């Protein structure tokens, strides 16, 4: 049976909304009917070649849905079960996994090189970041499926699969924000909004949102920002002025741009922590001199998938949702169909909105 999907025919080419033929789930596989899929900046990075994937491919990696069928050997979910897709499953055997750093699994994206589906003319399609969520249905390895805890609406749950795991993890696992600390978040997109909410959950005393768009201030404040700063050459100076000329304890950069990474670093107090979540291109070069590294004593760290273990963290996030601390609909600024994904990409490039959510 054919299902509709957003297909990337080649790197740099426009997406095509077309029918694809999915196989039945084989051993260790699960077929899922998507309820919703978030449009993440990583999907844009895949489409334009900033991140490399085999093509043609079905993109989309942040999703939730209902199990339709399972293959032989799958026991942790059954048909009818609501699930969240995990685009970066850990193998459990590589060096990173044996260290407990499952977010750095060397084999997490091994499935992206396989054949996921075919078009009507037989063209083989790859599964973008493993799960091919920009489709009405998908077939994935069982390791890419997490049972959805009770109390989380299925459509909203799509956001747990990337934006929220990344933003929450950046605050709680990477930067380890403590109650009373001050935080600056650079970039108020889907991940940035999740980061702001997570800083609020962590008990940050002051939360400064930074973005190029004045139109995002209301979104940022609703997510927990106490202050809003328009990105400029004086951003770091403004943030230091808001924090007694010290700088924030923690800065989280969610845009992946050299200028904002540098500004986040300069906004952090002496001895503070700067965490980079945004995925930038190889041309985004950031420079530091040896004396400033010594003098400021700051920690600069990358952050992959929020340094999260989805199996551990999704139940924690679900509890925050049930208790009203985490507002998933507050991350969404637009609900669209598959045909709306190219426009959502354009909005990202223009710095508009938070998370666009494809609702099936």
Question: Would 118 be classed as within a structural domain?
Answer: yes
Query: Both 104 and 229 in a single domain?
Result: no
- Per the CB < 8 A criterion, the answer to whether 139 and 115 are in contact is no
CA angle, 47 then 169 then 293, to 5°: 90
Q: Please name the residues in contact with 280: beta carbons below 8 A apart, sequence gap of 6 or more.
A: 50, 255, 256, 257, 258, 261
| Any domain includes 322 | no
Label each residue of 259-315 as H, E or C. Answer: HHHHHHHHHEEEEEEEEECCCCCCCCCCCCCHHHHHHHCCEEEECCHHHCCHHHHHH
Residue 246 shares a structural domain with residue 275: yes
151 with 188, same domain: the answer is no
Domain presence at residue 321: no
174 shares a domain with 148 = no
Residue 192 and residue 270 in one domain: yes
Place of tokens 């980061």: 195
Residues 151 and 14 in one domain: yes
Query: Which H or E run includes 155?
Result: helix 154-157
Query: What does the alpha-carbon distance between residue 18 and residue 74 come to, in Å, rounded to a whole number?
Result: 30
What integer pLDDT is reported at residue 3 of this predicted model? Answer: 95
Q: The tokens of 238 are what?
A: 């403004």
Q: Are residues 224 and 79 in the same domain?
A: no
Residue 123 domain flag: yes
Looking at the domain assignment, is residue 320 inside a domain?
no
pLDDT tens digits in sequence order for the chain, 360 residues long: 689 999 999 998 999 999 999 999 999 999 999 999 999 988 988 888 888 888 899 999 999 999 999 999 999 999 999 999 999 999 999 999 999 999 999 999 988 889 999 998 999 999 989 999 999 999 999 999 999 999 999 999 999 999 999 999 999 999 999 999 999 999 999 999 999 999 999 999 999 999 999 999 999 999 999 999 999 999 999 999 999 999 999 999 999 999 999 999 999 999 999 999 998 888 899 999 999 999 999 999 999 999 999 999 999 999 999 999 999 999 999 999 999 999 999 998 888 888 999 999
Cβ contacts of residue 266 below 8 Å, gap of 6+?
Answer: 236, 247
Yes or no: say if 215 and 147 are a contact pair by the CB < 8 Å rule: no
| Residue whose entry in the numeric block shows the structure tokens 């400064």 | 208
The answer to whether position 291 is within a domain reads yes
Residue 39 lies in a domain: yes
CATH number for the domain including 296?
A: 3.40.50.720
- Structural domain that includes position 119: 2-161+327-359
| Bridge-based pairing state of the strands 29-39 and 137-141 | antiparallel
Res 48: pLDDT:
86
Q: Which of 290, 235, 237 is nearest to 259 (CA)?
A: 235
Instruction: Give me the pLDDT at residue 302, please.
Output: 96
- pLDDT, residue 80, reads 97
State whether 213 and 91 are in the same domain: no
Per-residue confidence (pLDDT) for residue 62, from 0 to 100: 96
Sequence-separated (6 or more) residues with CB below 8 Å from residue 200: 207, 223, 224
Residue 267 sits at φ, ψ, to 5 deg, of -85, -10
pTM, rounded to two decimals: 0.94
* Residue 49 pLDDT: 82
Asked if the structure places residue 209 within a domain, the reply is yes
Tell me how many degrees the CA angle 137-345-43 measures, rounded to the nearest 5: 50
141 and 229 belong to one structural domain? no
Structurally, the chain folds into a number of domains equal to: 2
Query: What whole-number distance in Å separates Cα of residue 111 and Cα of residue 306?
Result: 21
Q: How far apart are CA 112 and CA 60, in angstroms?
A: 12
91 and 206 together in one domain: no
- My answer on whether 183 and 154 are in the same domain is no
- Looking at residue 106, which CATH number applies to its domain? 3.90.180.10
Number of H helices, E strands in the chain: 11, 18
Same domain, 155 and 169: no
């Amino acid at each position: 049976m054919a299902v509709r999907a957003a297909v990337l025919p080649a790197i740099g080419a426009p997406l095509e909304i077309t029918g694809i033929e999915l196989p039945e789930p084989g051993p260790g596989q699960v077929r899922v009917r998507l309820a919703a899929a978030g449009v993440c900046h990583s999907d844009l990075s895949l489409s334009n070649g900033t991140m490399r994937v085999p093509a043609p491919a079905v993109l989309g990696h942040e999703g939730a849905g209902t199990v339709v069928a399972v293959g032989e050997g799958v026991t942790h979910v059954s048909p009818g079960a609501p699930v969240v897709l995990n685009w970066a499953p850990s193998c459990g055997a590589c060096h990173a996994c044996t260290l407990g750093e499952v977010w750095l699994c060397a084999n997490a994206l091994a499935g992206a090189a396989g054949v996921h589906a075919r078009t009507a003319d037989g063209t083989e399609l790859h599964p973008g970041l493993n799960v091919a969520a920009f489709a009405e249905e998908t077939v994935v390895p069982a390791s890419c499926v997490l049972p959805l805890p009770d109390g989380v609406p299925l459509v909203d749950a799509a956001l747990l699969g990337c934006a929220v795991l990344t933003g929450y993890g950046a605050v709680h696992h990477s930067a380890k924000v403590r109650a009373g600390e001050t935080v600056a978040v650079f970039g108020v997109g889907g991940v940035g909004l999740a980061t702001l909410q997570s800083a609020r959950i962590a008990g940050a005393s002051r939360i400064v949102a930074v973005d190029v768009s004045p139109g995002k201030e209301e979104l940022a404040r609703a997510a927990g920002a106490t202050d809003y700063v328009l990105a400029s050459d004086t951003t770091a100076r403004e943030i230091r002025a808001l924090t007694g000329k010290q700088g924030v304890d923690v800065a989280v950069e969610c845009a992946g741009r050299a200028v904002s990474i540098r500004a986040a670093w300069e906004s952090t107090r002496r001895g503070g922590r700067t965490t980079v979540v945004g995925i930038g291109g190889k041309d985004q070069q950031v420079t530091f001199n040896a004396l400033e590294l010594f003098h400021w004593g700051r920690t600069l760290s990358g952050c992959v998938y929020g340094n999260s273990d989805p199996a551990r963290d999704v139940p924690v996030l679900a509890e925050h949702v049930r208790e009203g601390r985490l507002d998933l609909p507050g991350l969404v600024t637009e609900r669209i169909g598959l045909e709306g994904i190219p426009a959502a990409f354009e909005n990202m490039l223009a710095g508009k909105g938070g998370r666009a959510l494809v609702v099936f």
